[in-house]
Chain A
Amino acid sequence: MRVFQLDSYVLLLSGKDSLQFIDGLSTNKVEGTCTTVFTKANAKIIDMVEVICVGDNVAIVGHNSFKQDLLEHLNSRILQQDVLLRDISDFNNVFISLDRYPDTKNVTNVETFRGWILVVPKSIPMESTIDEAEFNEHRIQNILPHQGYEITTSNHPFNCGLDHLVHESKGCYVGQEILTRMRSRNNTGKSLILVEGKPEDATTTGKTHSLAIRRN
Chain B
Amino acid sequence: MDCGTCDTAPAIEVIKPEVVDVNLTITEKAIDMLTEAFGDDRSHALLVGVLSGGCSGYMYDLQIVETTDIDCQEIEISGFRVLVPNASSHLLDGIEVDYVDRLMGGGFKINNPNASSSCGCGESFA
Contact = CB atoms under 8 A, between A and B. Distances in A.
Given A21-B52, A25-B53, A88 B119 contact: no
A23 B12 CA distance: 20
Interface residues of B, number: 36
B4 to A, nearest CB: 8
B14 to A, nearest CB: 5
Interface stretch (A141-149, A173-181, A184-192, A204-212): A173-181
B11 A85 contact: yes
Contact of B6 (A77, A79, A86): A86
14 contacts: A77-B52, A79-B51, A81-B52, A84-B11, A86-B9, A86-B11, A87-B12, A88-B3, A90-B9, A121-B4, A172-B123, A173-B53, A173-B54, A174-B53
Interface of A: 10-12, 21, 23-25, 41, 52, 54-55, 57, 59, 71, 75-81, 84-88, 90-92, 106-108, 119-123, 172-177
Given A24-B52, A91-B5, A92-B2, 19 more contacts: A41-B55, A41-B56, A59-B1, A75-B12, A75-B14, A80-B51, A81-B52, A85-B11, A86-B6, A87-B12, A88-B5, A106-B2, A119-B1, A120-B1, A172-B123, A174-B53, A176-B55, A177-B55, A177-B120
